[in-house]
Amino acid sequence: MMDSKQKMIQKKNMSAYLTKIKSFFLGVQGNNGFFLKLCVYSLLIVIGFVYLYPLIYMGSYSFKSLEDLLNPLINWIPSTVYLENYMIAFQVLNFFPTLGQTLYVTIIPSIAQTAIAAIIGYGFARYEFPFKKIIFGIVLITFIIPPQVLMIPRYVFFNELELIGSIFSFLLPALFGQGLNSTIFILIFYQFFRMMPKALEEAANLDGAGNFRVFLTIAIPMAVPAIIIAFLFSFVWYWNETTLASLYLGNELTTIPIQLEKFSATFDELNNSQNSEGAQDINEGISMAGTLLSILPLLIVYIFTQRWFVEGVDRSGITGE
């Protein structure tokens, strides 16, 4: 009798022990197991490494002197912090004047594109009018058309209007809802405004508020997450655009990414203008310093806006949730 009781107790202990092991590795309801956490953290580490490796590589090589670059024993950590690469890159990029022009042709179209996308999205979401579905379909089709197809016709059109070389070649399409990827922002605002309760607008109308006032005082304050998302994405896309900027801005305006594309040619031009004693060849350290300087403003913007950026993505429904 005692042996059977002991066996039952041992079986219960063994069963409880196996249950604990199973819950530890596989998890239980409301608690993730070790295997799932291991997979998630491993995936996050791999993704983080893929994104951080180029930055670490650029940061390391941008501080290397020519001797460190040629020394096979020095891999990641330079022997000395060599700032001459950044001084040369500043000169080649003509950094601060070019940065001012870049912000000029980036911020203004981004603001215009965000404002117009909000108005168009609100109109599609809250009003009924003839041929609404057809017009909305045309808006979606404009996103499907490759931008390369429209480059030459737009160039001819802007050239006839004498807009080549001015910011209006970027600003005019933005004001008509045809800026860089404007359709995405229109859809974001359309989806966001559709989720707004109509009771708020009806209450405002009963208080005597017109449509324009309802849009400014009710819709816009509630759409702040969508506005943040639209502006930041628009800012980044206008900043990184080089093909259209080279075509439409001409030689009158330039941007940092355009200057980075011409980095080697500009360096050789400046190098040839110097005396032979002070001349030097371009190396990887100088190139990495120029590349890091070109993305530094975007990194600074993201550092200061990441909280609103993440909140905006979560609340605007851009992830499809």
CA–CA dist 108, 158 (Å, integer): 18
pLDDT at 15: 62
* Structure tokens belonging to residue 216: 């400014």
pLDDT by residue for the chain (321 residues), tens digit each?
445 655 565 566 566 655 666 665 555 555 666 677 778 788 888 888 888 888 888 888 888 888 888 887 778 888 888 888 889 888 888 889 999 999 999 999 999 999 999 999 988 888 888 888 888 888 888 888 887 788 888 888 888 888 888 888 889 888 888 888 888 889 888 888 888 787 777 787 777 777 788 888 888 888 888 888 889 889 989 998 888 888 888 778 888 999 888 888 888 877 776 655 555 677 888 888 888 988 888 888 888 877 776 666 665 555 443
Cα 6 to Cα 12: distance, rounded to the nearest angstrom: 10
CA atoms within 13 Å, Cβ hemisphere of 124: 24
Strand-pairing partners, residue 28, are 31
pLDDT at position 321: 38
| Cβ atoms of 230 and 189 closer than 8 Å | yes
Report residue 118 as tokens. Answer: 């909000």
- DSSP string computed for 144-162: HS-HHHHHHHHHHHHHHTT
Q: Which residues is 32 bridged to in the sheet?
A: 27
Q: How much is the pTM?
A: 0.78
- Residues 6 or more apart in contact with residue 166 via CB below 8 angstroms: 249, 252, 253
What's residue 320's pLDDT? Answer: 41
Terminal-residue alpha carbon distance, the chain? 61
Torsion-angle region of 181 (φ positive above 0: left; ψ -120 to 50: alpha; else: beta): left
